[in-house]
């Protein structure tokens, strides 16, 4: 049976979704019997860490947008699924527009702009604006933390260039179906095995989780087996340097 840490249960009872809680996480697979609960310290030996594309080095995601100056026009960005709009003035320059978009982004993120603060959980504390280039029409957005991803779409008169996208965390699809959320099928979840061993259990957790007993750590724990387990694998015998791939994973919320 899947087990959730206290931190996850408390967040689900608040304002966060399972998708948001486990965004940018990794899966660790261990030998032996699982700990008695997800708050407990990890046991056994680590066999493999599953990441996106098997990457092991994280850098901060960074994107730059460039604008074409158009007066009396809405500039629209969709950041982490949240629509952000800025209306240019009747005589707005390219600097006015980039500054206006930067202010709108700062406001959406929860920073004070002209005495106003809006805290949105999907945006708050996720990114910083590292550059507003005078005269060039560019605004650069950077993830605040290593291995954190933001998604960005833009409307007319805005172009995107990706400067860095070397995050390696795992993500669920945002569209739950019939009480079940699924692995993002656009991502490859894989990792190289560290040693030979028999898989016994796994934990979905944040990359910086040190594995010690911690009720504040975000964790989902389950068994690994060829049948009657939370994670089904073709063989529980893992081999050093072999690539272990997870092709599908889902988490369900029972109706009763």
The domain boundary residue, chosen from 148, 164, 180: 164
Please report the DSSP string for 47-102 in residue order.
EEEEEETT-------EEEEEE---TT-EEEEEETTEEEEEE--TT--HHHHHHHHH
Specify the pLDDT at position 194.
Answer: 97
The domain boundary residue, chosen from 126, 147, 164: 164
Alpha-carbon 172 to chain mean position: 8
Instruction: State how beta strands 189-192 and 243-246 pair.
Output: antiparallel
The pLDDT tens digits of the residues spanning 131-162 come to: 888 778 899 999 888 767 788 899 999 999 87
Structural contact between residues 44 and 201, judged by C-beta atoms closer than 8 angstroms: yes
Specify the pLDDT at position 202.
Answer: 97
One domain, residues 44 and 113: no
One domain, residues 176 and 49: yes
CA–CA separation, 83 and 72 (whole Å): 19
Tell whether 254 is covered by a domain.
no
* Torsion angle (degrees, nearest 10) of CA 146, 144, 156, 84: 130
One domain, residues 45 and 70: no
One domain, residues 92 and 137: yes
Tell whether 256 is covered by a domain.
no
Specify the pLDDT at position 7.
Answer: 96
* Torsion angle (degrees, nearest 10) of CA 27, 32, 36, 42: -50
Specify the pLDDT at position 24.
Answer: 85
**pTM of the entire structure?**
0.71
Specify the pLDDT at position 118.
Answer: 76
CA–CA separation, 239 and 230 (whole Å): 21
Instruction: Please count the structural domains in the chain.
Output: 2
Specify the pLDDT at position 159.
Answer: 94
One domain, residues 47 and 73: no
Specify the pLDDT at position 166.
Answer: 61
Tell whether 209 is covered by a domain.
yes
The pLDDT tens digits of the residues spanning 182-208 come to: 999 889 999 999 999 999 999 999 988
Tell whether 200 is covered by a domain.
yes
Specify the pLDDT at position 91.
Answer: 94
Domain that holds residue 80: 62-164
Containing 9, the helix (H) or strand (E) segment is helix 6-12
One domain, residues 72 and 131: yes
CA–CA separation, 209 and 218 (whole Å): 8
How far, in Å, are 2, 8, 146, 214, 245 from residue 229 at the CA level?
A: 9, 21, 32, 25, 17
Specify the pLDDT at position 61.
Answer: 87
Flag residues of the chain having pLDDT under 70: 147, 166, 256
């Amino acid at each position: 049976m899947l087990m959730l840490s206290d931190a996850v249960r408390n967040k689900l009872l608040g304002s966060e979704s399972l998708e948001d809680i486990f965004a940018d996480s990794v899966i660790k697979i261990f030998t032996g019997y699982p700990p008695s609960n997800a708050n407990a310290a990890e046991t056994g030996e680590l066999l493999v860490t599953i990441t996106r594309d098997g990457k092991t080095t994280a850098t901060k995601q960074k994107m730059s947008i460039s604008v074409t100056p158009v007066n009396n026009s809405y500039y629209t960005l969709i950041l982490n699924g949240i629509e952000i709009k800025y209306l240019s003035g009747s005589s707005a320059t390219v600097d006015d527009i980039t500054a206006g978009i930067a202010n709108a982004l700062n406001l959406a993120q929860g920073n004070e702009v002209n005495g106003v603060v809006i805290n949105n959980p999907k945006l708050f504390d996720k990114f910083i604006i590292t550059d507003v280039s005078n005269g060039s029409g560019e605004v650069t957005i950077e993830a605040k933390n290593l291995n954190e991803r933001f998604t960005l779409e833009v409307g007319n008169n805005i172009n995107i260039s990706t400067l860095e996208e070397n995050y390696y965390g795992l993500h669920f699809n945002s569209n739950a179906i019939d009480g079940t959320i699924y692995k993002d099928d656009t991502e490859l979840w894989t990792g190289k095995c560290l040693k030979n061993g028999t898989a016994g259990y796994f934990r979905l957790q944040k990359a910086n989780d040190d594995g010690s007993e911690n009720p504040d750590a975000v964790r989902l724990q389950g068994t690994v087996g060829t049948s009657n387990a939370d994670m089904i694998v073709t063989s529980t015998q893992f081999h050093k340097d072999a690539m272990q791939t997870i092709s599908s994973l889902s988490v369900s919320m029972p109706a009763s």
